[in-house]
Structure 1
Amino acid sequence: MTVLVFGGSGQIGHYLLPMLAARDEPVVALSRAPRAPIAGVEWLSGQLPWVPAIDGISAIFSFGPLQPFADWLAGAHLPHAPRVIATSSMSADSKRDSEVPAERELAQMLRDGEQTLVAACARHGSDWTVLRPTLIYGAGLDKSLTPIARRAMRLRVFPLPAGGGLRQPVHAQDLALAALAALDTAAAAMKILPIGGGECLPLGEMFARVRRSLPVDTLPLPIPAWSLRLARRGVARLRGPLGRMETDLVADNAQMTDLLGVHPRPFRPDADCWT
Protein backbone atom coordinates (compact mmCIF):
# COMPACT_ATOMS: atom_id res chain seq x y z
CA MET A 1 0.00 0.00 0.00
CA THR A 2 1.12 3.55 -0.75
CA VAL A 3 0.93 6.97 0.91
CA LEU A 4 0.27 9.78 -1.59
CA VAL A 5 1.29 13.35 -0.74
CA PHE A 6 0.12 16.53 -2.45
CA GLY A 7 2.11 19.65 -1.53
CA GLY A 8 5.15 17.64 -0.50
CA SER A 9 7.50 20.37 -1.72
CA GLY A 10 5.90 22.96 0.56
CA GLN A 11 6.69 23.87 4.13
CA ILE A 12 4.67 21.11 5.84
CA GLY A 13 5.81 18.48 3.36
CA HIS A 14 9.39 19.58 3.99
CA TYR A 15 9.08 18.06 7.46
CA LEU A 16 6.51 15.32 6.84
CA LEU A 17 8.14 13.47 3.94
CA PRO A 18 11.18 12.28 5.95
CA MET A 19 8.84 11.15 8.74
CA LEU A 20 6.73 9.15 6.30
CA ALA A 21 9.82 7.70 4.62
CA ALA A 22 10.88 6.25 7.98
CA ARG A 23 7.71 4.16 8.12
CA ASP A 24 6.94 0.90 6.34
CA GLU A 25 4.72 2.02 3.45
CA PRO A 26 6.02 3.42 0.14
CA VAL A 27 5.63 7.19 -0.21
CA VAL A 28 4.76 8.94 -3.47
CA ALA A 29 4.81 12.74 -3.71
CA LEU A 30 3.40 14.70 -6.64
CA SER A 31 5.30 17.68 -8.02
CA ARG A 32 5.08 19.94 -11.06
CA ALA A 33 8.88 20.26 -11.24
CA PRO A 34 11.85 17.96 -10.52
CA ARG A 35 12.75 17.81 -6.82
CA ALA A 36 15.84 16.84 -4.87
CA PRO A 37 15.76 13.15 -3.96
CA ILE A 38 14.55 12.12 -0.51
CA ALA A 39 15.37 8.60 0.65
CA GLY A 40 12.22 6.52 0.71
CA VAL A 41 10.17 9.00 -1.34
CA GLU A 42 9.29 8.65 -5.03
CA TRP A 43 8.59 11.94 -6.80
CA LEU A 44 6.04 11.78 -9.62
CA SER A 45 5.49 14.51 -12.17
CA GLY A 46 1.93 15.79 -12.13
CA GLN A 47 -0.41 18.60 -11.24
CA LEU A 48 -4.00 18.63 -10.12
CA PRO A 49 -6.28 17.59 -11.68
CA TRP A 50 -3.84 15.46 -13.74
CA VAL A 51 -2.53 12.78 -11.40
CA PRO A 52 -0.73 9.66 -12.68
CA ALA A 53 -2.32 6.31 -11.89
CA ILE A 54 -1.07 5.04 -8.52
CA ASP A 55 -2.05 1.61 -7.25
CA GLY A 56 -2.91 0.68 -3.69
CA ILE A 57 -3.27 4.10 -2.09
CA SER A 58 -3.83 3.67 1.66
CA ALA A 59 -3.52 7.29 2.77
CA ILE A 60 -3.51 10.74 1.18
CA PHE A 61 -2.07 13.96 2.56
CA SER A 62 -2.88 17.30 0.96
CA PHE A 63 -1.12 20.54 1.93
CA GLY A 64 -1.91 22.60 -1.15
CA PRO A 65 -5.02 24.52 -2.28
CA LEU A 66 -8.00 22.70 -0.81
CA GLN A 67 -10.68 23.08 -3.47
CA PRO A 68 -8.66 21.64 -6.40
CA PHE A 69 -7.66 18.69 -4.24
CA ALA A 70 -11.24 18.10 -3.09
CA ASP A 71 -12.48 18.28 -6.68
CA TRP A 72 -9.90 15.68 -7.74
CA LEU A 73 -10.77 13.50 -4.76
CA ALA A 74 -14.44 13.56 -5.69
CA GLY A 75 -13.73 12.00 -9.07
CA ALA A 76 -10.74 9.78 -8.30
CA HIS A 77 -10.83 5.98 -8.37
CA LEU A 78 -9.75 4.95 -4.85
CA PRO A 79 -10.89 1.39 -4.19
CA HIS A 80 -9.05 1.04 -0.87
CA ALA A 81 -10.87 3.92 0.92
CA PRO A 82 -7.65 5.74 1.86
CA ARG A 83 -7.37 7.82 5.00
CA VAL A 84 -7.38 11.51 4.02
CA ILE A 85 -5.61 14.30 5.94
CA ALA A 86 -5.75 17.80 4.49
CA THR A 87 -4.99 21.36 5.55
CA SER A 88 -7.45 24.19 5.23
CA SER A 89 -6.89 27.50 7.03
CA MET A 90 -8.22 29.50 9.96
CA SER A 91 -9.03 32.10 7.29
CA ALA A 92 -12.19 30.06 6.72
CA ASP A 93 -13.45 31.75 9.89
CA SER A 94 -11.27 34.83 10.38
CA LYS A 95 -12.03 36.28 6.92
CA ARG A 96 -15.70 35.25 6.82
CA ASP A 97 -16.88 38.77 7.68
CA SER A 98 -14.02 40.76 6.13
CA GLU A 99 -14.78 44.17 4.64
CA VAL A 100 -12.84 43.05 1.54
CA PRO A 101 -14.97 41.03 -0.91
CA ALA A 102 -12.01 38.95 -2.13
CA GLU A 103 -11.28 37.85 1.43
CA ARG A 104 -14.89 36.87 2.05
CA GLU A 105 -14.74 34.86 -1.18
CA LEU A 106 -11.56 33.13 0.03
CA ALA A 107 -13.22 32.19 3.32
CA GLN A 108 -16.22 30.79 1.45
CA MET A 109 -13.98 28.89 -0.95
CA LEU A 110 -12.18 27.26 1.97
CA ARG A 111 -15.43 26.21 3.60
CA ASP A 112 -16.75 24.94 0.26
CA GLY A 113 -13.53 22.97 -0.23
CA GLU A 114 -13.93 21.39 3.18
CA GLN A 115 -17.49 20.33 2.38
CA THR A 116 -16.47 18.96 -1.03
CA LEU A 117 -13.75 16.92 0.68
CA VAL A 118 -16.21 15.57 3.26
CA ALA A 119 -18.66 14.52 0.54
CA ALA A 120 -15.91 12.92 -1.55
CA CYS A 121 -14.63 10.93 1.43
CA ALA A 122 -18.16 9.73 2.17
CA ARG A 123 -18.40 8.43 -1.41
CA HIS A 124 -15.12 6.54 -1.02
CA GLY A 125 -15.88 5.33 2.48
CA SER A 126 -12.75 7.15 3.68
CA ASP A 127 -12.07 8.62 7.08
CA TRP A 128 -10.84 12.21 6.94
CA THR A 129 -9.29 14.91 9.12
CA VAL A 130 -8.94 18.58 8.19
CA LEU A 131 -6.41 20.79 10.02
CA ARG A 132 -7.08 24.52 10.12
CA PRO A 133 -3.74 26.18 10.96
CA THR A 134 -3.06 29.75 11.94
CA LEU A 135 -0.05 31.64 10.54
CA ILE A 136 2.57 29.06 9.46
CA TYR A 137 6.34 29.63 9.63
CA GLY A 138 9.53 27.64 10.06
CA ALA A 139 10.85 26.42 6.71
CA GLY A 140 11.43 29.72 4.92
CA LEU A 141 8.66 28.86 2.46
CA ASP A 142 5.72 30.83 3.86
CA LYS A 143 4.30 33.95 2.22
CA SER A 144 3.71 35.87 5.44
CA LEU A 145 6.63 36.30 7.86
CA THR A 146 9.48 35.08 5.64
CA PRO A 147 9.07 37.82 2.99
CA ILE A 148 9.06 40.43 5.78
CA ALA A 149 12.20 38.95 7.32
CA ARG A 150 14.06 38.71 4.02
CA ARG A 151 13.13 42.23 2.99
CA ALA A 152 14.37 43.53 6.34
CA MET A 153 17.66 41.66 5.94
CA ARG A 154 18.10 43.16 2.49
CA LEU A 155 17.18 46.74 3.42
CA ARG A 156 18.47 46.62 7.02
CA VAL A 157 15.19 48.22 8.16
CA PHE A 158 12.43 46.39 10.02
CA PRO A 159 8.93 47.97 10.09
CA LEU A 160 7.17 47.51 13.44
CA PRO A 161 3.49 48.33 12.96
CA ALA A 162 1.27 49.27 15.88
CA GLY A 163 -1.42 46.74 16.65
CA GLY A 164 -2.67 44.91 19.70
CA GLY A 165 -4.34 41.88 18.17
CA LEU A 166 -3.06 38.51 19.33
CA ARG A 167 -1.28 36.13 16.96
CA GLN A 168 -0.41 32.43 17.31
CA PRO A 169 2.18 31.41 14.71
CA VAL A 170 2.50 27.64 14.28
CA HIS A 171 5.72 25.96 13.18
CA ALA A 172 5.42 23.86 10.01
CA GLN A 173 7.10 20.92 11.75
CA ASP A 174 4.39 20.90 14.42
CA LEU A 175 1.78 20.80 11.66
CA ALA A 176 3.60 17.84 10.11
CA LEU A 177 3.57 16.08 13.47
CA ALA A 178 -0.16 16.74 13.83
CA ALA A 179 -0.86 15.45 10.32
CA LEU A 180 1.10 12.27 11.00
CA ALA A 181 -0.65 11.78 14.34
CA ALA A 182 -4.02 12.20 12.60
CA LEU A 183 -3.10 9.35 10.26
CA ASP A 184 -2.69 7.03 13.25
CA THR A 185 -5.53 8.31 15.44
CA ALA A 186 -8.98 6.91 14.76
CA ALA A 187 -10.58 9.40 17.16
CA ALA A 188 -9.43 12.28 14.92
CA ALA A 189 -11.50 11.02 11.99
CA MET A 190 -14.37 13.13 10.67
CA LYS A 191 -13.15 16.27 12.45
CA ILE A 192 -12.01 19.76 11.49
CA LEU A 193 -9.30 20.67 14.00
CA PRO A 194 -7.97 24.20 14.55
CA ILE A 195 -4.24 24.30 15.26
CA GLY A 196 -2.07 27.21 16.30
CA GLY A 197 1.30 27.60 17.92
CA GLY A 198 1.97 27.05 21.58
CA GLU A 199 1.86 30.74 22.42
CA CYS A 200 -0.47 33.68 21.81
CA LEU A 201 1.33 37.01 21.68
CA PRO A 202 0.55 40.58 20.62
CA LEU A 203 1.16 41.44 16.98
CA GLY A 204 3.93 43.90 17.88
CA GLU A 205 5.78 41.32 19.96
CA MET A 206 5.54 38.78 17.14
CA PHE A 207 7.26 41.20 14.75
CA ALA A 208 9.82 42.16 17.41
CA ARG A 209 10.79 38.50 17.84
CA VAL A 210 11.17 38.06 14.10
CA ARG A 211 13.49 41.08 14.06
CA ARG A 212 15.57 39.74 16.96
CA SER A 213 15.93 36.40 15.16
CA LEU A 214 17.57 37.87 12.08
CA PRO A 215 21.29 37.22 11.52
CA VAL A 216 21.91 40.90 10.66
CA ASP A 217 21.25 44.14 12.52
CA THR A 218 18.23 46.10 11.33
CA LEU A 219 16.94 49.55 12.16
CA PRO A 220 13.54 49.35 13.89
CA LEU A 221 10.97 51.52 12.14
CA PRO A 222 7.85 51.98 14.28
CA ILE A 223 4.71 52.58 12.21
CA PRO A 224 2.14 54.54 14.24
CA ALA A 225 -1.55 53.66 14.29
CA TRP A 226 -2.60 56.86 12.51
CA SER A 227 -0.47 56.05 9.45
CA LEU A 228 -1.96 52.55 9.34
CA ARG A 229 -5.44 54.04 9.40
CA LEU A 230 -4.53 56.28 6.48
CA ALA A 231 -3.11 53.36 4.53
CA ARG A 232 -6.21 51.31 5.26
CA ARG A 233 -8.45 54.01 3.80
CA GLY A 234 -6.21 54.79 0.84
CA VAL A 235 -4.90 51.41 -0.33
CA ALA A 236 -7.62 48.90 -1.13
CA ARG A 237 -5.42 45.79 -0.99
CA LEU A 238 -4.33 46.68 2.56
CA ARG A 239 -7.80 47.12 4.04
CA GLY A 240 -8.18 43.50 5.05
CA PRO A 241 -4.75 42.93 6.65
CA LEU A 242 -4.68 46.32 8.36
CA GLY A 243 -8.28 45.94 9.51
CA ARG A 244 -7.32 42.77 11.41
CA MET A 245 -4.35 44.24 13.27
CA GLU A 246 -6.44 44.81 16.38
CA THR A 247 -8.24 41.47 16.02
CA ASP A 248 -7.16 38.28 17.76
CA LEU A 249 -6.34 35.56 15.20
CA VAL A 250 -5.84 32.52 17.40
CA ALA A 251 -6.90 28.89 17.59
CA ASP A 252 -8.12 26.76 20.46
CA ASN A 253 -5.66 23.86 20.52
CA ALA A 254 -7.49 21.87 23.18
CA GLN A 255 -9.26 19.37 20.92
CA MET A 256 -6.24 18.90 18.68
CA THR A 257 -3.94 18.30 21.66
CA ASP A 258 -6.37 15.94 23.38
CA LEU A 259 -6.87 13.84 20.26
CA LEU A 260 -3.40 13.93 18.68
CA GLY A 261 -1.11 14.44 21.66
CA VAL A 262 0.74 17.22 19.83
CA HIS A 263 1.92 20.25 21.82
CA PRO A 264 3.03 23.00 19.38
CA ARG A 265 6.09 24.98 20.38
CA PRO A 266 6.00 28.63 21.50
CA PHE A 267 7.10 31.27 19.03
CA ARG A 268 10.88 31.35 19.36
CA PRO A 269 12.12 31.82 15.77
CA ASP A 270 15.77 31.73 14.77
CA ALA A 271 17.57 32.72 11.58
CA ASP A 272 17.03 29.26 10.07
CA CYS A 273 13.29 29.94 9.94
CA TRP A 274 13.76 32.49 7.13
CA THR A 275 16.35 30.75 4.93
Structure 2
Amino acid sequence: MTVLVFGGSSQIGHYLLPLLAARDEPVVAVSREARASIPGVTWLSGQLPDAVPAVEHVSAIFSLGPLQACARWLSKAAVLHEPRVVAISSMSAESKRASEVPAERALSQLLRDSEVALAEACAKHGSAWTVLRPTLVYGAGLDKSLTPIARRAMRLRVFPLPMGHGMRQPVHAQDLACAALAALDTSIAAGKILAIGGGERLTAGEMFARVRHSLPIQTLPLPLPPWLLRAARRGVGKLRGPLSRLEADLIADNTEMTRLLGVQPRPFRPDAECWRRRPG
Protein backbone atom coordinates (compact mmCIF):
# COMPACT_ATOMS: atom_id res chain seq x y z
CA MET A 1 0.00 0.00 0.00
CA THR A 2 1.11 3.59 -0.70
CA VAL A 3 0.84 6.91 1.11
CA LEU A 4 0.02 9.74 -1.31
CA VAL A 5 1.11 13.26 -0.36
CA PHE A 6 0.01 16.51 -1.97
CA GLY A 7 1.96 19.60 -0.94
CA GLY A 8 5.09 17.70 0.04
CA SER A 9 7.28 20.69 -0.86
CA SER A 10 5.51 22.84 1.74
CA GLN A 11 6.94 23.66 5.17
CA ILE A 12 4.81 20.92 6.72
CA GLY A 13 5.89 18.48 4.04
CA HIS A 14 9.54 19.27 4.83
CA TYR A 15 9.02 17.62 8.21
CA LEU A 16 6.30 15.08 7.36
CA LEU A 17 7.99 13.29 4.46
CA PRO A 18 10.95 12.00 6.54
CA LEU A 19 8.51 10.76 9.19
CA LEU A 20 6.52 8.89 6.56
CA ALA A 21 9.66 7.54 4.88
CA ALA A 22 10.69 5.94 8.16
CA ARG A 23 7.54 3.78 8.13
CA ASP A 24 6.94 0.58 6.19
CA GLU A 25 4.69 1.91 3.43
CA PRO A 26 6.11 3.54 0.29
CA VAL A 27 5.44 7.27 -0.09
CA VAL A 28 4.54 9.07 -3.32
CA ALA A 29 4.68 12.88 -3.31
CA VAL A 30 3.09 14.82 -6.17
CA SER A 31 4.61 18.16 -7.20
CA ARG A 32 4.16 20.55 -10.10
CA GLU A 33 7.93 20.51 -10.68
CA ALA A 34 10.02 17.39 -11.14
CA ARG A 35 12.04 16.52 -8.03
CA ALA A 36 14.65 13.89 -7.33
CA SER A 37 13.31 10.95 -5.37
CA ILE A 38 14.89 10.15 -2.01
CA PRO A 39 14.97 6.90 -0.01
CA GLY A 40 11.40 6.04 0.93
CA VAL A 41 9.83 8.86 -1.10
CA THR A 42 9.09 8.87 -4.83
CA TRP A 43 8.30 12.25 -6.42
CA LEU A 44 5.91 12.40 -9.36
CA SER A 45 5.10 15.40 -11.52
CA GLY A 46 1.47 16.47 -11.43
CA GLN A 47 -0.98 19.13 -10.33
CA LEU A 48 -4.30 19.22 -8.53
CA PRO A 49 -7.09 18.89 -9.42
CA ASP A 50 -6.93 17.71 -13.03
CA ALA A 51 -3.36 16.55 -13.70
CA VAL A 52 -2.67 14.01 -10.98
CA PRO A 53 -0.75 10.90 -12.08
CA ALA A 54 -2.27 7.51 -11.39
CA VAL A 55 -1.07 5.94 -8.15
CA GLU A 56 -2.29 2.45 -7.28
CA HIS A 57 -3.06 0.87 -3.91
CA VAL A 58 -3.30 4.12 -1.95
CA SER A 59 -3.84 3.54 1.76
CA ALA A 60 -3.61 7.16 2.94
CA ILE A 61 -3.74 10.65 1.49
CA PHE A 62 -2.22 13.80 2.98
CA SER A 63 -3.36 17.18 1.67
CA LEU A 64 -0.85 19.85 2.75
CA GLY A 65 -1.68 22.41 0.05
CA PRO A 66 -4.83 24.12 -1.21
CA LEU A 67 -7.73 22.15 0.24
CA GLN A 68 -10.26 23.08 -2.44
CA ALA A 69 -8.14 21.53 -5.21
CA CYS A 70 -7.66 18.30 -3.28
CA ALA A 71 -11.38 18.03 -2.57
CA ARG A 72 -12.20 18.55 -6.26
CA TRP A 73 -9.73 15.86 -7.30
CA LEU A 74 -10.90 13.39 -4.67
CA SER A 75 -14.54 13.84 -5.65
CA LYS A 76 -13.73 12.57 -9.16
CA ALA A 77 -10.80 10.22 -8.57
CA ALA A 78 -11.06 6.46 -8.95
CA VAL A 79 -9.73 5.71 -5.47
CA LEU A 80 -9.93 2.19 -4.06
CA HIS A 81 -9.28 0.74 -0.60
CA GLU A 82 -11.00 3.59 1.29
CA PRO A 83 -7.79 5.54 2.02
CA ARG A 84 -7.46 7.49 5.26
CA VAL A 85 -7.38 11.24 4.51
CA VAL A 86 -5.60 13.90 6.60
CA ALA A 87 -5.85 17.49 5.38
CA ILE A 88 -4.52 20.86 6.46
CA SER A 89 -6.92 23.80 6.48
CA SER A 90 -6.41 27.02 8.47
CA MET A 91 -7.76 28.83 11.51
CA SER A 92 -8.49 31.63 9.05
CA ALA A 93 -11.68 29.68 8.42
CA GLU A 94 -12.87 31.16 11.71
CA SER A 95 -10.59 34.14 12.48
CA LYS A 96 -11.35 35.89 9.17
CA ARG A 97 -15.05 35.07 9.10
CA ALA A 98 -16.00 38.61 10.22
CA SER A 99 -13.02 40.49 8.74
CA GLU A 100 -13.59 44.05 7.55
CA VAL A 101 -11.74 43.09 4.35
CA PRO A 102 -14.04 41.39 1.78
CA ALA A 103 -11.25 39.25 0.33
CA GLU A 104 -10.50 37.83 3.76
CA ARG A 105 -14.15 37.01 4.41
CA ALA A 106 -14.19 35.26 1.04
CA LEU A 107 -11.09 33.25 2.01
CA SER A 108 -12.75 32.20 5.26
CA GLN A 109 -15.82 31.00 3.37
CA LEU A 110 -13.68 29.18 0.80
CA LEU A 111 -11.85 27.30 3.53
CA ARG A 112 -15.08 26.23 5.22
CA ASP A 113 -16.64 25.24 1.90
CA SER A 114 -13.52 23.24 1.03
CA GLU A 115 -13.67 21.38 4.34
CA VAL A 116 -17.27 20.41 3.60
CA ALA A 117 -16.36 19.36 0.06
CA LEU A 118 -13.52 17.19 1.35
CA ALA A 119 -15.83 15.46 3.83
CA GLU A 120 -18.37 14.80 1.06
CA ALA A 121 -15.69 13.40 -1.27
CA CYS A 122 -14.41 11.13 1.51
CA ALA A 123 -17.94 9.89 2.19
CA LYS A 124 -18.21 8.96 -1.48
CA HIS A 125 -15.17 6.69 -1.13
CA GLY A 126 -15.95 5.44 2.37
CA SER A 127 -12.81 7.14 3.66
CA ALA A 128 -12.25 8.40 7.18
CA TRP A 129 -10.92 11.95 7.32
CA THR A 130 -9.40 14.45 9.74
CA VAL A 131 -8.84 18.16 9.11
CA LEU A 132 -6.30 20.19 11.07
CA ARG A 133 -6.80 23.96 11.38
CA PRO A 134 -3.45 25.49 12.37
CA THR A 135 -2.78 29.03 13.51
CA LEU A 136 0.20 30.92 12.06
CA VAL A 137 2.73 28.28 10.90
CA TYR A 138 6.51 28.86 10.97
CA GLY A 139 9.73 26.89 11.21
CA ALA A 140 11.10 26.00 7.76
CA GLY A 141 11.62 29.42 6.18
CA LEU A 142 8.74 28.82 3.78
CA ASP A 143 5.87 30.69 5.43
CA LYS A 144 4.51 33.94 4.03
CA SER A 145 4.01 35.72 7.34
CA LEU A 146 6.95 35.83 9.77
CA THR A 147 9.77 34.72 7.45
CA PRO A 148 9.37 37.66 4.99
CA ILE A 149 9.43 40.06 7.97
CA ALA A 150 12.58 38.45 9.35
CA ARG A 151 14.39 38.46 6.00
CA ARG A 152 13.43 42.04 5.24
CA ALA A 153 14.73 43.12 8.63
CA MET A 154 18.05 41.33 8.04
CA ARG A 155 18.38 42.98 4.66
CA LEU A 156 17.57 46.50 5.87
CA ARG A 157 19.01 46.12 9.40
CA VAL A 158 15.79 47.68 10.74
CA PHE A 159 12.95 45.79 12.44
CA PRO A 160 9.54 47.53 12.62
CA LEU A 161 7.75 46.64 15.86
CA PRO A 162 3.97 47.17 15.87
CA MET A 163 2.72 47.18 19.44
CA GLY A 164 -0.33 44.96 18.99
CA HIS A 165 -1.99 43.49 22.09
CA GLY A 166 -3.97 40.77 20.34
CA MET A 167 -2.89 37.28 21.36
CA ARG A 168 -0.96 35.02 18.99
CA GLN A 169 -0.12 31.32 19.06
CA PRO A 170 2.41 30.45 16.32
CA VAL A 171 2.75 26.71 15.68
CA HIS A 172 5.95 25.10 14.44
CA ALA A 173 5.61 23.17 11.16
CA GLN A 174 7.30 20.15 12.69
CA ASP A 175 4.68 19.95 15.44
CA LEU A 176 1.97 20.20 12.79
CA ALA A 177 3.62 17.35 10.85
CA CYS A 178 3.62 15.23 14.01
CA ALA A 179 -0.07 15.99 14.54
CA ALA A 180 -0.87 15.03 10.94
CA LEU A 181 0.95 11.73 11.33
CA ALA A 182 -0.80 11.05 14.64
CA ALA A 183 -4.15 11.73 12.96
CA LEU A 184 -3.35 9.04 10.38
CA ASP A 185 -3.00 6.44 13.13
CA THR A 186 -5.82 7.62 15.41
CA SER A 187 -9.23 6.28 14.50
CA ILE A 188 -11.05 8.39 17.11
CA ALA A 189 -9.88 11.53 15.28
CA ALA A 190 -11.89 10.53 12.21
CA GLY A 191 -14.56 13.01 11.16
CA LYS A 192 -13.00 15.77 13.28
CA ILE A 193 -11.89 19.30 12.47
CA LEU A 194 -9.16 20.00 15.03
CA ALA A 195 -7.73 23.40 15.87
CA ILE A 196 -4.00 23.42 16.56
CA GLY A 197 -1.80 26.26 17.76
CA GLY A 198 1.58 26.52 19.38
CA GLY A 199 2.24 25.72 23.02
CA GLU A 200 2.30 29.36 24.07
CA ARG A 201 0.10 32.40 23.72
CA LEU A 202 1.72 35.82 23.56
CA THR A 203 0.84 39.29 22.32
CA ALA A 204 1.48 40.22 18.71
CA GLY A 205 4.02 42.79 19.91
CA GLU A 206 5.93 40.17 21.91
CA MET A 207 5.81 37.76 18.96
CA PHE A 208 7.51 40.30 16.69
CA ALA A 209 10.05 41.13 19.42
CA ARG A 210 11.01 37.46 19.70
CA VAL A 211 11.44 37.19 15.94
CA ARG A 212 13.81 40.16 16.09
CA HIS A 213 15.86 38.64 18.92
CA SER A 214 16.14 35.37 16.99
CA LEU A 215 17.90 36.97 14.02
CA PRO A 216 21.61 36.22 13.50
CA ILE A 217 22.46 39.91 13.02
CA GLN A 218 21.71 43.07 14.96
CA THR A 219 18.76 45.13 13.75
CA LEU A 220 17.54 48.54 14.85
CA PRO A 221 14.16 48.26 16.60
CA LEU A 222 11.64 50.68 15.13
CA PRO A 223 8.52 50.91 17.35
CA LEU A 224 5.43 51.82 15.34
CA PRO A 225 3.08 54.10 17.32
CA PRO A 226 -0.68 53.49 17.21
CA TRP A 227 -1.39 56.67 15.25
CA LEU A 228 0.96 55.53 12.48
CA LEU A 229 -0.67 52.11 12.33
CA ARG A 230 -4.11 53.70 12.10
CA ALA A 231 -2.94 55.91 9.23
CA ALA A 232 -1.42 52.93 7.42
CA ARG A 233 -4.59 50.95 7.94
CA ARG A 234 -6.64 53.68 6.26
CA GLY A 235 -4.17 54.53 3.50
CA VAL A 236 -2.54 51.24 2.46
CA GLY A 237 -5.11 48.74 1.21
CA LYS A 238 -3.02 45.58 1.52
CA LEU A 239 -2.21 46.39 5.16
CA ARG A 240 -5.81 46.96 6.18
CA GLY A 241 -6.48 43.34 7.13
CA PRO A 242 -3.22 42.56 8.98
CA LEU A 243 -3.25 45.85 10.90
CA SER A 244 -6.90 45.49 11.85
CA ARG A 245 -6.06 42.17 13.51
CA LEU A 246 -3.23 43.47 15.70
CA GLU A 247 -5.66 43.90 18.59
CA ALA A 248 -7.60 40.71 17.84
CA ASP A 249 -6.84 37.30 19.38
CA LEU A 250 -5.79 34.73 16.75
CA ILE A 251 -5.48 31.61 18.86
CA ALA A 252 -6.56 27.99 19.00
CA ASP A 253 -7.83 25.74 21.77
CA ASN A 254 -5.54 22.70 21.68
CA THR A 255 -7.56 20.71 24.21
CA GLU A 256 -9.32 18.31 21.85
CA MET A 257 -6.34 17.97 19.51
CA THR A 258 -4.04 17.03 22.41
CA ARG A 259 -6.61 14.66 23.90
CA LEU A 260 -7.12 12.82 20.62
CA LEU A 261 -3.64 12.97 19.08
CA GLY A 262 -1.38 13.25 22.13
CA VAL A 263 0.61 16.10 20.57
CA GLN A 264 1.96 18.92 22.77
CA PRO A 265 3.19 21.75 20.50
CA ARG A 266 6.28 23.67 21.60
CA PRO A 267 6.28 27.26 22.89
CA PHE A 268 7.34 30.05 20.56
CA ARG A 269 11.14 30.11 20.86
CA PRO A 270 12.34 30.79 17.31
CA ASP A 271 15.97 30.76 16.27
CA ALA A 272 17.76 31.89 13.13
CA GLU A 273 17.20 28.50 11.46
CA CYS A 274 13.45 29.16 11.41
CA TRP A 275 13.93 31.87 8.77
CA ARG A 276 16.38 29.97 6.54
CA ARG A 277 14.64 28.44 3.56
CA ARG A 278 14.78 24.66 3.65
CA PRO A 279 14.80 22.57 0.49
CA GLY A 280 11.29 21.48 -0.42
TM-score, length basis structure 2: 0.97
Q: Distance in 2 between matches of 1:201 and 1:55?
A: 46
1:102-251 matches, cutoff 5 A: 102-251=103-252
**Cα RMSD (Å):** 0.7
TM-superposed deviation, 1:38: 2.5
Q: Distance in 1 between matches of 2:38 and 2:239?
A: 39
4+ long deviations beyond 4 Å? none
1:75-114 matches, cutoff 5 A: 75-114=76-115
Q: Distance in 2 between matches of 1:128 and 1:202?
A: 33
TM-superposed deviation, 1:37: 3.6
TM-superposed deviation, 1:79: 1.4
1:61 is paired with a residue whose SS is: strand
TM-superposed deviation, 1:236: 1.8
TM-superposed deviation, 1:60: 0.2
CA contact (8 A) 1:170 1:197 kept: yes
Structure 1 match to 2:72? 71
CA contact (8 A) 2:88 2:134 kept: yes
* AA aligned opposite 2:66: P
* AA aligned opposite 1:3: V
TM-superposed deviation, 1:35: 2.5
Structure 2 match to 1:14? 14
CA contact (8 A) 1:6 1:30 kept: yes
* AA aligned opposite 1:24: D
TM-superposed deviation, 1:34: 2.5
TM-superposed deviation, 1:173: 0.1
Q: Distance in 1 between matches of 2:163 and 2:253?
A: 25
Instruction: Say yes or no: does 1:47 pair with 2:47.
Output: yes
Which segment is superposed worse, 206-215 or 231-240? 231-240
TM-superposed deviation, 1:36: 4.4
CA contact (8 A) 2:35 2:44 kept: no
2:152 is paired with a residue whose SS is: helix
* AA aligned opposite 2:188: A
Deviation per CA, 1:3-46, whole angstroms, max 9, x where unpaired?
Answer: 00000011000000000000000100001112244321000000
* AA aligned opposite 1:106: L
Deviation per CA, 1:127-182, whole angstroms, max 9, x where unpaired?
Answer: 00000000000000000000000000111000001210000000000000000000
- Segments of 5+ residues of structure 2 without an aligned counterpart are none
Deviation per CA, 1:224-252, whole angstroms, max 9, x where unpaired?
Answer: 11100011111222111111100000000
* AA aligned opposite 1:264: P
CA contact (8 A) 2:170 2:197 kept: yes
Which segment is superposed worse, 78-87 or 28-37? 28-37
Q: Distance in 2 between matches of 1:37 and 1:146?
A: 27
2:61 is paired with a residue whose SS is: strand
1:20 is paired with a residue whose SS is: helix
CA contact (8 A) 1:18 1:38 kept: no
CA contact (8 A) 1:178 1:262 kept: yes
Q: Distance in 2 between matches of 1:235 and 1:158?
A: 19
TM-score, length basis structure 1: 0.99
* AA aligned opposite 1:8: G
Structure 2 match to 1:34? 34
- Segments of 5+ residues of structure 1 without an aligned counterpart are none
